[in-house]
């Protein structure tokens, strides 16, 4: 707030110094040149020098404050977007397209910053316009009235175009968000699309959507081009009219030569505040569109209610009221689902990413705070992502663990060989989304990260689906040993994972049909059918 006020102060001072300069020049000509008063001429020249120094200093201060305001507004809005996206979590894609959220960070927050950037110049333009109007009225009532009446007319000509520009830019931003989402989905699934021969159909969809974006951009550009042209044409016409009137008054003797020169200076100066007015209208409109989009994100809710409890019942059994599944507070529980989608939905319910009847130690998860549930229950689905950066930071983002802890987690996930094969070990930078690693390597790194987090309840969805049988067997045995004393839920139909389970359950058609010993689940007819369906 202080830098915003300082920017307005320097902006006003900067503009006023420019507005007063023609007055000093006119007085120097009238007093020093026309009347031959050398002392007066020197005095006004020194006054002009001082005014120039004030203007330069104010310009530096205004620019610094404007840049600070732009950066502050932009990155605080980025933080709001990031915090809201993190709060929504898994519910984000159901509230807004991911591409729209990306565009908020890439474009919308910058436009909000632009509105604060121009605030200093806009304030200075308003004050300088008022001052010049007063000076013109003091020189000539006719000229002052032309300014006071003409400028509102110029602004009135631009105003009707603001709303169409607002609407067309909003439509363009929506189409761009859809295009970004479509492009992200297509690139992420390119390998699958090529395998099924569907890449051409998706490329055609992308081409069609890009044409919609182009058409929306052209529509918005038409209005912007008219406004940009008016920023030059209308002030130019206005200055020509003022200059013609002033010249006629000088010829008739109504004003002095110095006043005429000052008048020319003011006429030329008025182009700056007039263009600033139209530029501000453009930036404020763009910022208004951006704020509307940002408010949509900030107003989105996860659709879940949270309580106030923080006293997590360690060792308490986790119960899913939807299926009847009971997960003991200790040991490894393997849950086989005849439907893979049902397994993913079960994991969402156990982690309270979905509103469901789930309790821990007899207490509903809804009674606990969100931070408490997230801290004690970790859900790792089959699509868990890596981020770009050092591998060490991927495994231990908060740097809370020793190298020995990291090595133990890597051993459990059978990922030690991955680190050994990297040129800089744990300090190797992995690419965006971990694409420099293979699918099996990414899966093991994600598992190691989950083990290192050491939550009270760890829910894993198909944690070994991308590794070979020997690796899968080692991981399953080590995971069970490392997680003793805490609850681990592995949603999997793998016989090798089921082989090491302390507890087992089978879910068919959304209900637990069997829960007990692993051997009973392994030999159940529905279990064999589920395994055959996955391996076929």
Look at residue 365 in the predicted model and tell me its pLDDT. Answer: 92
Selection from 388, 374, 384, 368 nearest residue 453 by Cα: 374
pLDDT class for 191, splitting at 50, 70, 90? Answer: very low
Selection from 157, 114, 136 nearest residue 270 by Cα: 136
Residue 305 belongs to a domain: no
pLDDT at residue 14 tops 80: yes
Residue 313 belongs to a domain: no
Q: Is 90 exposed, middle or buried (0-12, 13-18, 19+ CB in 10 A)?
A: middle
Read off the tokens for 7: 């920017």
- CATH code for the domain in which residue 347 is found: 3.40.50.300
pLDDT at residue 209 tops 60: yes
Look at residue 398 in the predicted model and tell me its pLDDT. Answer: 83
Bridge partners (DSSP) listed for residue 333: 489, 503
Q: Which residue has the higher pLDDT, 380 or 190?
A: 380
3-state secondary structure of 507: strand
pLDDT at residue 462 tops 60: yes
The total domain count for the chain is 2
Mean pLDDT over residues 370-384, rounded?
A: 86
List the domain range (segments joined by +) for residue 83. Answer: 2-299
- CATH code for the domain in which residue 288 is found: 1.20.1560.10
Residue 103 belongs to a domain: yes
Q: Please report, rounded to a whole number, the percentage of residues in the chain having pLDDT higher than 70.
A: 87
d(CA 246, CA 126): 23
Selection from 8, 111, 110 nearest residue 62 by Cα: 8
Read off the tokens for 484: 């003793």
Predicted TM-score (pTM) above 0.75:
no
| Dihedral Cα 393, 398, 399, 402, nearest 10 deg | -100
> Do residue 166 and residue 242 come from a single domain?
yes
| Dihedral Cα 273, 274, 275, 278, nearest 10 deg | 120
pLDDT at residue 371 tops 80: yes
d(CA 326, CA 450): 22
Residue 493's CB is within 10 A of a number of other CB atoms, namely 25
pLDDT class for 477, splitting at 50, 70, 90? Answer: very high
In 238-339, beta strands by DSSP E: 318-320, 325-327, 331-337
Q: How wide is the angle at C-alpha 519 spanned by C-alphas 517 and 524, nearest 5°?
A: 105
Last residue of a domain, one of 272, 299, 326: 299
pLDDT at residue 44 tops 60: yes
User: Any idea which residue has 């908060």 for tokens?
Assistant: 398
> Do residue 293 and residue 373 come from a single domain?
no
Residue 492 belongs to a domain: yes
> Do residue 193 and residue 323 come from a single domain?
no
Look at residue 367 in the predicted model and tell me its pLDDT. Answer: 93
Read off the tokens for 66: 């404007």
> Do residue 290 and residue 322 come from a single domain?
no
Residue 355 belongs to a domain: yes
Mean pLDDT over residues 124-134, rounded?
A: 85
> Do residue 243 and residue 374 come from a single domain?
no
Residue 311 belongs to a domain: no
Selection from 433, 438, 431, 488 nearest residue 463 by Cα: 488
> Do residue 68 and residue 143 come from a single domain?
yes
d(CA 285, CA 453): 46
Mean pLDDT of the chain: 81
- Going from the C-alpha of 484 to that of each of 163, 445, 479, the distances in angstroms are 64, 21, 9
DSSP state, 351? T
- Going from the C-alpha of 445 to that of each of 106, 380, 417, 493, the distances in angstroms are 30, 12, 11, 21
Q: Which residue has the higher pLDDT, 123 or 155?
A: 123
DSSP state, 317? P
d(CA 418, CA 445): 9
What's the pLDDT tens digit per position in 485-520? 999 999 988 888 888 899 999 988 888 888 888 787
């Amino acid at each position: 707030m202080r830098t915003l006020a300082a920017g307005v102060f320097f902006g006003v001072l900067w503009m006023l110094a420019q507005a007063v300069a023609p007055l000093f020049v006119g007085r120097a000509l009238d007093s020093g040149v026309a009347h031959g008063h050398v002392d007066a001429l020197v005095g006004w020249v020194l006054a002009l020098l001082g005014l120039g120094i004030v203007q330069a200093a104010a310009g530096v201060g205004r620019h610094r404050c404007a840049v600070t305001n732009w950066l502050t507004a932009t990155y605080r809005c980025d933080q709001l977007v990031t915090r809201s996206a993190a709060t929504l979590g898994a519910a984000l894609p159901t509230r807004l397209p991911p591409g729209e959220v990306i565009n908020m960070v890439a474009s919308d927050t910058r436009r909000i910053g632009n509105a604060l950037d121009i605030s200093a110049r806009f304030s200075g333009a308003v004050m300088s316009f008022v001052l010049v109007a007063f000076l013109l009225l003091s020189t000539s009532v006719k000229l002052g009235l032309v300014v006071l009446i003409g400028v509102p007319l110029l602004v009135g000509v631009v105003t009707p175009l603001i709303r169409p520009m607002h609407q067309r830019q909003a439509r363009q931003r929506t189409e761009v968000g859809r295009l970004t989402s479509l492009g992200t989905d297509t690139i992420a699934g390119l390998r699958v699309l090529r395998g099924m021969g569907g890449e051409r159909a998706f490329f055609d969809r992308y081409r069609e959507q890009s044409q919609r974006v182009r058409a929306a951009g052209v529509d918005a550009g038409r209005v912007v081009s008219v406004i940009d042209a008016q920023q030059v044409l209308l002030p130019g016409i206005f200055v020509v009219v003022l200059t013609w009137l002033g010249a006629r008054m000088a010829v008739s003797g109504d004003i002095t030569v110095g006043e005429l020169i000052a008048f020319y200076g003011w006429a030329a100066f008025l182009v700056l505040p007039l263009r600033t007015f139209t530029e501000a209208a453009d930036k404020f409109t763009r910022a208004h569109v951006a704020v509307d989009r940002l408010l949509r994100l900030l107003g989105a809710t996860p659709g879940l209610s949270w309580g106030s409890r923080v006293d997590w019942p360690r060792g308490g059994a986790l119960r899913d009221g939807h299926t009847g599944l009971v997960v003991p507070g200790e040991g490894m529980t393997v849950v086989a689902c005849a439907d893979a989608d049902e397994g993913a939905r079960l994991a969402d319910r156990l982690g309270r990413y979905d509103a469901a009847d789930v309790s821990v130690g007899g207490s509903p998860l809804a009674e606990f705070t969100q931070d408490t549930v997230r801290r004690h229950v970790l859900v790792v689905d089959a699509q868990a992502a890596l981020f770009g950066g050092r591998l060490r930071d991927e495994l231990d983002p908060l740097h809370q663990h020793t190298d020995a802890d990291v090595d133990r987690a890597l051993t459990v996930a059978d990922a030690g060989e991955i680190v050994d094969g990297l040129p800089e070990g744990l300090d190797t930078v992995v690419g965006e989304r971990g694409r420099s690693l293979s699918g099996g390597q990414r899966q093991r790194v994600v598992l190691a990260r989950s083990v290192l987090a050491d939550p009270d309840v760890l829910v894993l969805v198909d944690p070994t689906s991308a590794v070979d049988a020997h690796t899968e067997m080692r991981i399953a045995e080590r995971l069970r040993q490392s997680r003793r004393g805490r609850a681990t839920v592995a949603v999997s139909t793998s016989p090798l994972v089921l082989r090491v389970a302390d507890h087992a359950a089978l879910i068919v058609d959304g209900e637990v049909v069997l829960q007990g010993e692993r051997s009973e689940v392994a030999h159940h007819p529905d279990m064999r059918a589920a395994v055959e369906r996955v391996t076929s």
